[in-house]
Amino acid sequence: MARRRARIGLFQPVRGGGATISLDEVEISILRSLLVQLVELIGPGPAEDEDADPLASLFAEGPSKPPEDPALARLFPNAYEETENSAEFRRFTENDLRSRKRDDALAAIRALDLGGPLVQLTPDQARQWLGALNDLRLTLGARLEVTQEAEDGESGLFSLPDDDERKPLVLAYLWLGGLQESLVETLMK
Protein backbone atom coordinates (compact mmCIF):
# COMPACT_ATOMS: atom_id res chain seq x y z
CA MET A 1 0.00 0.00 0.00
CA ALA A 2 1.43 3.36 -0.98
CA ARG A 3 2.04 5.85 1.80
CA ARG A 4 0.05 9.03 1.59
CA ARG A 5 2.20 12.10 1.50
CA ALA A 6 1.30 14.64 4.17
CA ARG A 7 -0.10 17.87 2.79
CA ILE A 8 1.78 20.89 4.05
CA GLY A 9 -0.02 22.57 6.93
CA LEU A 10 -2.75 19.97 7.40
CA PHE A 11 -2.75 17.07 9.81
CA GLN A 12 -3.17 13.63 8.32
CA PRO A 13 -4.05 10.41 10.16
CA VAL A 14 -1.44 7.71 10.58
CA ARG A 15 -2.00 4.00 10.86
CA GLY A 16 -2.56 2.97 14.45
CA GLY A 17 -3.81 6.40 15.49
CA GLY A 18 -2.07 9.69 15.89
CA ALA A 19 -1.34 12.24 13.22
CA THR A 20 1.34 13.71 11.05
CA ILE A 21 1.85 17.20 9.69
CA SER A 22 4.36 18.74 7.33
CA LEU A 23 5.45 22.25 8.31
CA ASP A 24 7.95 24.56 6.66
CA GLU A 25 10.78 26.23 8.61
CA VAL A 26 8.87 29.47 9.11
CA GLU A 27 5.79 27.66 10.46
CA ILE A 28 7.95 25.61 12.81
CA SER A 29 9.72 28.74 14.04
CA ILE A 30 6.46 30.64 14.65
CA LEU A 31 4.74 27.72 16.34
CA ARG A 32 7.76 26.97 18.52
CA SER A 33 8.07 30.62 19.55
CA LEU A 34 4.38 30.81 20.47
CA LEU A 35 4.64 27.58 22.49
CA VAL A 36 7.71 28.81 24.38
CA GLN A 37 5.88 32.05 25.19
CA LEU A 38 2.91 30.00 26.41
CA VAL A 39 5.16 27.97 28.74
CA GLU A 40 6.64 31.21 30.07
CA LEU A 41 3.15 32.66 30.60
CA ILE A 42 1.95 29.56 32.46
CA GLY A 43 4.99 29.77 34.71
CA PRO A 44 7.50 27.35 36.15
CA GLY A 45 6.60 23.94 37.45
CA PRO A 46 6.94 22.85 41.03
CA ALA A 47 10.41 23.24 42.52
CA GLU A 48 12.51 20.17 41.99
CA ASP A 49 13.82 19.63 45.50
CA GLU A 50 15.21 16.11 45.76
CA ASP A 51 14.85 16.13 49.54
CA ALA A 52 11.22 17.27 49.48
CA ASP A 53 8.52 15.00 50.75
CA PRO A 54 6.86 13.42 47.65
CA LEU A 55 3.48 13.46 49.40
CA ALA A 56 3.75 17.19 50.06
CA SER A 57 3.43 17.97 46.36
CA LEU A 58 0.23 15.93 46.20
CA PHE A 59 -1.34 18.12 48.87
CA ALA A 60 0.12 21.45 47.78
CA GLU A 61 -2.52 24.11 47.49
CA GLY A 62 -2.72 26.47 44.58
CA PRO A 63 -3.90 30.06 44.44
CA SER A 64 -7.41 30.94 45.56
CA LYS A 65 -7.78 34.09 43.46
CA PRO A 66 -8.14 34.22 39.67
CA PRO A 67 -5.16 35.58 37.74
CA GLU A 68 -5.18 39.28 36.92
CA ASP A 69 -3.66 38.78 33.46
CA PRO A 70 -6.60 38.38 31.00
CA ALA A 71 -4.81 35.59 29.11
CA LEU A 72 -4.14 33.61 32.28
CA ALA A 73 -7.70 34.27 33.44
CA ARG A 74 -8.87 32.74 30.15
CA LEU A 75 -6.62 29.70 30.62
CA PHE A 76 -7.63 29.31 34.27
CA PRO A 77 -11.23 30.57 34.52
CA ASN A 78 -13.43 30.43 37.60
CA ALA A 79 -15.26 27.13 37.89
CA TYR A 80 -18.25 28.66 39.65
CA GLU A 81 -19.96 32.03 39.67
CA GLU A 82 -19.96 31.95 43.46
CA THR A 83 -16.64 33.36 44.67
CA GLU A 84 -16.20 31.09 47.71
CA ASN A 85 -16.76 27.82 45.82
CA SER A 86 -14.65 29.00 42.93
CA ALA A 87 -11.76 29.93 45.23
CA GLU A 88 -11.91 26.55 46.94
CA PHE A 89 -12.04 24.68 43.63
CA ARG A 90 -9.14 26.74 42.24
CA ARG A 91 -7.03 26.08 45.32
CA PHE A 92 -7.16 22.33 44.77
CA THR A 93 -7.11 22.13 40.96
CA GLU A 94 -5.10 24.97 39.43
CA ASN A 95 -1.66 23.51 40.11
CA ASP A 96 -2.57 20.30 38.27
CA LEU A 97 -4.18 22.23 35.42
CA ARG A 98 -1.09 24.43 35.07
CA SER A 99 1.11 21.35 35.06
CA ARG A 100 -0.98 19.68 32.33
CA LYS A 101 -1.00 22.79 30.17
CA ARG A 102 2.76 23.19 30.60
CA ASP A 103 3.32 19.51 29.77
CA ASP A 104 1.17 19.78 26.63
CA ALA A 105 3.11 22.80 25.37
CA LEU A 106 6.48 21.21 26.18
CA ALA A 107 5.48 18.00 24.38
CA ALA A 108 4.60 20.04 21.28
CA ILE A 109 7.94 21.86 21.47
CA ARG A 110 9.82 18.53 21.74
CA ALA A 111 7.92 17.10 18.77
CA LEU A 112 8.81 20.16 16.69
CA ASP A 113 12.46 19.92 17.74
CA LEU A 114 12.67 16.21 16.89
CA GLY A 115 10.45 16.10 13.84
CA GLY A 116 11.93 18.52 11.40
CA PRO A 117 9.55 19.40 8.59
CA LEU A 118 7.51 16.21 9.07
CA VAL A 119 6.12 15.92 12.58
CA GLN A 120 4.65 12.55 13.53
CA LEU A 121 2.51 12.27 16.64
CA THR A 122 1.32 9.28 18.61
CA PRO A 123 -2.32 9.39 19.76
CA ASP A 124 -1.22 10.73 23.17
CA GLN A 125 1.03 13.36 21.59
CA ALA A 126 -1.78 14.39 19.25
CA ARG A 127 -4.06 15.00 22.26
CA GLN A 128 -1.31 17.06 23.89
CA TRP A 129 -0.95 19.09 20.70
CA LEU A 130 -4.69 19.65 20.63
CA GLY A 131 -4.53 21.00 24.19
CA ALA A 132 -1.54 23.22 23.40
CA LEU A 133 -3.13 24.60 20.22
CA ASN A 134 -6.31 25.36 22.16
CA ASP A 135 -4.34 27.12 24.90
CA LEU A 136 -2.45 29.18 22.31
CA ARG A 137 -5.73 30.28 20.69
CA LEU A 138 -7.26 31.14 24.06
CA THR A 139 -4.19 33.21 24.94
CA LEU A 140 -4.10 35.07 21.62
CA GLY A 141 -7.86 35.53 21.73
CA ALA A 142 -7.58 37.13 25.17
CA ARG A 143 -4.77 39.41 23.99
CA LEU A 144 -6.82 40.42 20.95
CA GLU A 145 -10.02 40.70 23.02
CA VAL A 146 -11.77 38.31 20.64
CA THR A 147 -15.48 38.02 21.35
CA GLN A 148 -18.11 35.73 19.85
CA GLU A 149 -19.06 38.57 17.50
CA ALA A 150 -15.47 38.74 16.27
CA GLU A 151 -15.45 34.96 15.77
CA ASP A 152 -18.65 35.28 13.72
CA GLY A 153 -17.01 37.89 11.50
CA GLU A 154 -19.00 40.85 12.79
CA SER A 155 -15.88 42.67 13.96
CA GLY A 156 -13.26 44.56 12.01
CA LEU A 157 -10.56 42.55 13.79
CA PHE A 158 -10.17 40.14 10.90
CA SER A 159 -9.97 42.87 8.25
CA LEU A 160 -7.28 45.02 9.81
CA PRO A 161 -4.98 47.05 7.57
CA ASP A 162 -1.52 45.57 7.06
CA ASP A 163 0.13 48.29 9.16
CA ASP A 164 -1.96 47.51 12.28
CA GLU A 165 0.29 46.08 15.01
CA ARG A 166 -2.35 43.44 15.86
CA LYS A 167 -2.37 41.99 12.33
CA PRO A 168 0.37 39.35 12.97
CA LEU A 169 -1.47 38.15 16.08
CA VAL A 170 -4.75 37.92 14.18
CA LEU A 171 -3.05 35.92 11.41
CA ALA A 172 -1.48 33.60 14.01
CA TYR A 173 -4.87 33.22 15.72
CA LEU A 174 -6.54 32.24 12.44
CA TRP A 175 -3.69 29.88 11.46
CA LEU A 176 -3.79 28.15 14.86
CA GLY A 177 -7.54 27.75 14.43
CA GLY A 178 -6.95 26.01 11.11
CA LEU A 179 -4.35 23.70 12.67
CA GLN A 180 -6.67 22.92 15.56
CA GLU A 181 -9.58 22.15 13.25
CA SER A 182 -7.38 19.97 11.04
CA LEU A 183 -6.14 18.01 14.05
CA VAL A 184 -9.66 17.52 15.44
CA GLU A 185 -10.88 16.23 12.06
CA THR A 186 -7.87 13.91 11.81
CA LEU A 187 -8.42 12.46 15.27
CA MET A 188 -12.09 11.84 14.50
CA LYS A 189 -11.24 9.64 11.49
When pLDDT is cut at 50, 70 and 90, the band that residue 153 belongs to is: low
CA-to-CA distance for 105 and 155, rounded, in angstroms? 30
pLDDT at 90 over 70: yes
Element (H, E) at 35: helix 25-42
Residues 29-71 pLDDT 10s? 999 999 999 999 998 865 544 456 555 555 566 666 767 889 9
When pLDDT is cut at 50, 70 and 90, the band that residue 151 belongs to is: low
CA-to-CA distance for 125 and 67, rounded, in angstroms? 28
pLDDT at 6 over 50: no
Write the CA distances from 115 to 11, 109, 120, integer angstroms: 14, 10, 7
CA-to-CA distance for 35 and 17, rounded, in angstroms? 24
Neighbours of 180 (CB within 10 A): 18
Task: Enumerate residues 6+ apart whose C-beta is below 8 A from 66.
Answer: 73, 76, 77, 78, 86, 90
Q: What ranges in 43-81 are assigned the alpha helix state H?
A: 54-58, 70-75
Q: Which sign does the torsion angle of CA 96, 101, 105, 108 carry?
A: positive
